[in-house]
Amino acid sequence: MSQTCCSQSKEKVASHSSTCCTTEVREMASQTSETNTCCGDDGPGDPEDEPEGCCSSSSANVVTAAQGEKKVYRIQGMDCPSCAMTIEKGVNALGSIIEAKVSYGTAKLQVVGMDQSAFDGAEQTVRKLGFEIEMSEQNRNMRTYIVEGMDCGSCAQSVENHLNKLPQVKHADVSFSTGKMKVEHDNSVEDIISEVSKIGYHASVADGVGTNTGKKPKSEYQNIIITGALIAVGFIGSYAGLPQMMSTILYAIAIVISGYKPVKSAYYAIRSGSLDMNVLMSAAVIGAALIGEWFEGATVVWLFALGIALQNQSIERTRKSIRNLMDLTPSEAWVKAGSELVQKPVSDITVGEITIIKPGDRVPLDGEVVKGETSINQAPITGESMPVDKVEGDTVYAGTINEHGSIEVRVTKLVQDTTISKIIHMVEEAQEQRAPTQAFIDKFASIYTPIVFAAALAVIVLPPLFGAGSWGEWVYKGLALLVVACPCALVISTPVAIVSAIGNAAKNGVLIKGGTFLEKAAQIKVIAFDKTGTLTEGRPQVTEVQAYKNTEEELLSIAYTLEDYSTHPIGRTIVDYAKEQNIQVKTGERFSNIVGKGVQATIAGQIYYAGNQKLFAEAGISLSGHEEALGDIQSQGKTVVIVGTQEGVIGIIAVSDTIRKTTSQALKDLRHAGVDQVVMLTGDNRGTAKRIAAEANVNRYFAELMPEDKVNAIRQLQAEGHKVAMVGDGINDAPALALSDIGIAMGGAGTDTAMETADIVLMADNLEKLPHTMKLSRKALSIIKQNIWFSLIVKAIALVFIFPGWLTLWMAVLSDTGAAIIVILNALRLLNVKE
């Protein structure tokens, strides 16, 4: 057995704990695999992307055709496709397993077994191979909820800590960025919603595709208006002869109305061991009341409530920018039932059914056109502005718009497996991942808040004890310091910007797999492109026809006849070109393929040849007088097909791969977006590489490369001090994609593998979206830096102003919530970045 591990790919896997290359695993793998070449293939398929039948992914536990049960697991520690293959073969070797499939891209293991012992054996085998395994959400009592009202990471942490302390909850995970909560629990949904409401937030069950099925909470602004009115009456009344006691009562009522929720949340946060902003604000308000500063306390709680409401409204805009994508798909579709049409919910439609899509309607499910022709607006998936023509056999995607003709489409994927559903899922997963900057800020905040909290207590207690002032004076300053201890604006500065940028990219047909890759993309100075299929069309085309003894039409007719029986790609290219020119084929006989040289056939009693120079040399046909023309064409990197008879050459046809129409402009736009070098990697000869590089505006190229040479080219660029991105198809260029700082795959809408393996995916099969992606990432990083510096400066000024007595409590709250709102609004600008 041979196994080569790709250490460089470890940076692109969530867990790095694999022992793939240890002796123990190699020995165990040898029992199940003859040959294992890391990164040589894309690994086994995704368990969720299977043909219809016994292993349909429509259910977590289904009875298969073989009467087996299916379970899906998550695997941690795989650092290359070889690991996935080793696990798959090891589990399949167990006698009680009907089928096991592993996807390296999604880190999932699907097992179909006869009984529980089969699954126990599978888990044991995976652990023996040195990997971690856990049951996936779909096989556990795991539910997803949408939580409203969270306006910073500490709020999410409080909810998470509270739920994890409940005996009926096995595990809870709350994401502030997406506003989603995943809970594995034994009690009812109502119990979970009730527990969340205790902390002051509103939870409702997500319907599985990202939308909210619960009722909306009542408006937060109702209490804010009432509280503001009470404070205004009390304040004005104090100057209009209203008794002081009456003003104080009005302030107290205002504190109770707007302070009830944060105090309640603070109680549960303290019980769960969290020190969030509700605790700090509640302490400040209660302390202000105790020292007789009722107006200050009421103003603080009102400003806090108003700030939170505005923050929630702004943050929800970023979250809804992704959830609204699911509104693109209709909830019902017309389905053919014999000779009749019936309307069915898309969730009830199965694979193989025929849907009817009329002009102007949205495609309900992914499928294949079986009847009719039309143009489809695929902007929701690929970001392409121009409609794409669709004929029988073409694929259409859920959420896209049928522009013209009525079509019949055979459903190929269930509602939860459609491309747009996967996009939603992958984008939300990306938003939940913390970028390096965000992780650092969160760690900083976790240290900063307790320190400042302790400092506030010291300020309250120590100076009065040593006679440095009155208790009231220092308690007030300590309360102001408590408010300043809340790092809301700082903590929120990064995730909102990342969520906004990833959402913008998704709506423009680009998947960015997380904040880490968004930040890395902003630092990219060199982008290396695989030539074939990336910069070029990936298929040869006729670029030049030279006829010497006949017309071009006659030459093409003869070439068409000769190549019609050929299976060589260049021969097929000539045939296709002749058909496009409406050239008529002649009658030929005695066809013969001459391997590596060309073809010959008899037409009208005369032998004709089509091929390379070797063919004509062996046939004894002179090329005298044509050497210069042949040399000129070959110097341009084109392939020459010579057509002739024993009497001499009658014409030359040049064939070459051509660059995409959008390539040249896209590469120019990349330079405008801040990319210093655009590099081409190709296995073609230097002549071809030079020609393509000139046409595509590439300023550097590496030619005559084997796959391993592409890796060396990436290493060379990195050794020169550059941050390098590699653009390819996500499969053939796997080693180079793995080694690069960012791997970018093209055409994700057509291949699940590209969607799963790359760091960034261009859903359309073109480069037009890449400049926008680089521009967006740089803009995002710039805004993140702006937000961080702004938050730190505001916080520093507030801290300095406390001790001279210049910072009042209401000013402290305004500096905190005001800064948070400004930071959010600044981040929201990323939603509006245009191409």
Catalytic residue set: 530
Residue among 178, 745, 834, 767 nearest 507 (CA): 834
d(CA 320, CA 447): 32
Q: Residue 526 carries which side chain, given as an amino acid letter?
A: V
Q: What does residue 809 show for φ and ψ, rounded to 5 degrees?
A: -60, -45
Cα dihedral 247→252→255→261 (10° resolution): -150
Structure tokens at 407: 């079509």
- The rounded distance, in Å, linking the Cα atoms of 609 and 618 is 11
The Cα 515–Cα 428 span in angstroms is 11
Cβ neighbour number for residue 124 with a 10 Å cutoff? 13
Token pair for 605 = 């009693």
Indicate the SS3 state at residue 407: strand
Q: How far apart are CA 452 and CA 486, in angstroms?
A: 9
Q: What distances in angstroms separate CA 239 from CA 236, 246, 247, one per listed residue?
A: 5, 12, 10
Pairing of strands 3-4, 36-37: parallel
The Cα 3–Cα 625 span in angstroms is 55
Q: Which amino acid is present at 784? A: I
DSSP 324: G
What are residue 171's DSSP bridge partners? 184
By the 8 A CB rule, do 592 and 586 touch? no
Cα gap 318→680, rounded to integer Å: 37
How close are the terminal C-alpha atoms of the chain, in Å?
Answer: 50
Q: Using the 8-state DSSP alphabet, how is residue 400 labeled?
A: -
Cα distances from 510 to residues 364, 385, 763, 774, in angstroms, run 22, 14, 6, 11
Q: How far does Cα 272 stand from its chain's mean position?
A: 33
d(CA 98, CA 102): 14
Query: What are residue 148's DSSP bridge partners?
Result: 202
Which amino acid is present at 606? Answer: Q
**CA–CA separation, 316 and 532 (whole Å):** 43
CB within 8 A of 535, min separation 6: which ones? Answer: 529, 659, 660, 663, 680, 692, 696, 698, 767
The count of residues in the chain is 835
**What is the CA angle 44-50-51, rounded to 5?**
130
Neighbours of 325 (CB within 10 A): 22
Tokens 């404070």 -> residue: 231
Distance CA 546, CA 548 (A): 7
CA–CA separation, 771 vs 663, rounded Å?
Answer: 11
d(CA 726, CA 733): 9
The 3-state secondary structure of 274-316, one letter per residue = CCCHHHHHHHHHHHHHHCCCHHHHHHHHHHHHHHHHHHHHHHH
The span from the CA of 773 to the CA of 271, in Å, is 44
Report which of 735, 726, 728 is spatially closest to residue 81, judged by C-alpha positions.
735
DSSP for 580-620, please give it: HTTPPP--EEEEEEETTTEEEEEETTEEEEEE-HHHHHHTT
DSSP H helical ranges for 75-220: 81-92, 116-128, 153-164, 189-198
Q: Which of 144, 152, 208, 212 is nearest to 176 (CA)?
A: 152
